[in-house]
Amino acid sequence: MPDKPEVKTIFAEVRRPRGTDLGAVVEGAYLIEDGAVVLTDRDGTPVRDERGKFYRHLLEPNDNPRAIAARMTKEFRSMLRGKDGGRRDGFSGPIHYPKVKYV
């Protein structure tokens, strides 16, 4: 039984630091399998977006696998947040709690 490829972690910048804003990153996981970068979860299972698309990129000789995985992670994140990259209700935004009155 062949060994499972090593799952690697990537952090991709999605918002640059500016002033007092520290910016934001998104975490992704990937592995190299059969000469391709494959976006996975932390356990090494390939991820799919809502349309069932896998995220896989066949490597060329001078490709940087980490840079490709970072780009793919941002692309996958955009698809999960909506095609236009806009926020979906309830995710990645402020939580507005109702005011509580104590009697």
Q: d(Cα 36, Cα 60) in Å, to the nearest integer?
A: 9
Kindly indicate the confidence band of residue 89, based on its pLDDT and cuts at 50, 70 and 90. Answer: low
The DSSP result for 25-67, as a single string, is EEEEEEEEETTEEEEE-TTSPBPB-TT--B-EEEPPTT--HHH
Cα separation, 96 vs 15, whole angstroms: 23
Look up residue 103 and give its amino acid. Answer: V
> In this structure, is residue 17 part of a structural domain?
yes
Does the residue 25 lie in any domain? Answer: yes
Asked whether residue 59 is assigned to any structural domain, the reply reads yes
Number of domains in the chain: 1
pLDDT in tens, 41-84: 999 999 988 788 889 999 999 999 999 999 999 998 888 877 55
The 3-state DSSP class for residue 59 equals: coil
Q: What is the pLDDT of residues 16-51, one digit of tens each?
A: 999 988 888 999 999 999 999 999 999 999 998 878
Structural domain boundaries, residue 70: 8-81
* Averaged confidence pLDDT in the chain: 84
What pTM was computed for the model?
A: 0.72
Answer whether residue 30 is part of any domain. yes
Task: Note whether residue 28 is domain-resident.
Answer: yes
**β pairing state of 24-33 and 36-40:** antiparallel
In a domain, 86, yes or no: no
First to last CA, the chain: 66
pLDDT for 50 equals 79
Q: Is the pLDDT of residue 103 over 80?
A: no
